[in-house]
Amino acid sequence: MAVFRGRASKAGEAKVAGERSLLLGIGISAIGIGMYVPFSLVFFHHVTGLSFTLVGLVMTVTGLAGLAFVPLAGSAVDRFGAKGVNLVLYGIRALGFALYPFASSPAAFAAVALLTALADRSFSVVQQSLIGEVARGAARDRLQASTRALQNAGMGAGALLVSGVLALWGTGAFTHTAWANSAAFALAGLLVGRVRPAPAGETTAATAGRPDAGYRTVLRDRPFLGLTAANFLTALGYCALSVLFPLYLSTWLKAPDSLTGAAFTLNTALCAGIGVLVAGRVRRSGARRTRSAALGAVLFAAAFAGQIVLGTLRPGQGATLAALLAIVVVYTLGELVHSPSGGALSVSAAPEPVRGRYLATYQLSHSLATALAPSLFTALLAVDGRLPWAVLTAAALGAALALLRLERHLPAEAVHAEPPAEAVRAEPPAEAAGAAPAGDAADRRPATAAA
At 268, is the pLDDT very low, low, confident or very high (cuts 50, 70, 90)? confident
pLDDT score of 38: 60
pLDDT score of 107: 92
Same domain assignment for residues 127 and 76 = yes
pLDDT score of 301: 98
Same domain assignment for residues 166 and 255 = no
Does pLDDT of 433 surpass 50? no
Backbone angles phi, psi at 234, to 5 degrees: -75, -30
Q: What is the DSSP letter of 202?
A: S
Same domain assignment for residues 73 and 51 = yes
**Averaging pLDDT over each range in 49-63, 127-141, 370-384, 389-403, which range is the top one?**
389-403
**Averaging pLDDT over each range in 13-22, 260-269, 384-393, which range is the top one?**
384-393
Q: What is the pTM of this model?
A: 0.78
| Residue 430 included in any domain | no
Q: What is the DSSP letter of 426?
A: H
Domain range for 168 is 17-207
Instruction: Round the average pLDDT of the chain to a whole number and report it.
Output: 83
pLDDT score of 441: 38
Same domain assignment for residues 141 and 230 = no
Does pLDDT of 4 surpass 50? no
Tell me what percent of the residues of the chain surpass a pLDDT of 90.
Answer: 48
Same domain assignment for residues 190 and 222 = no
- pLDDT tens per residue, range 362-378: 999 998 898 889 889 99
| Angstrom distance (rounded) from CA 134 to CA 198 | 5
Same domain assignment for residues 236 and 325 = yes
Does pLDDT of 420 surpass 80? no
The answer to whether residues 196 and 17 touch, using CB atoms and an 8 Å cutoff, is yes
**Boundary of a domain, candidates 170, 190, 207:** 207
Measured between its terminal Cα atoms, the distance across the chain in Å is 33
| Angstrom distance (rounded) from CA 18 to CA 30 | 18
Number of independent structural domains in the chain: 2
Same domain assignment for residues 169 and 291 = no
Give the residue among 183, 193, 234 at the shortest CA–CA distance from 396. Answer: 234
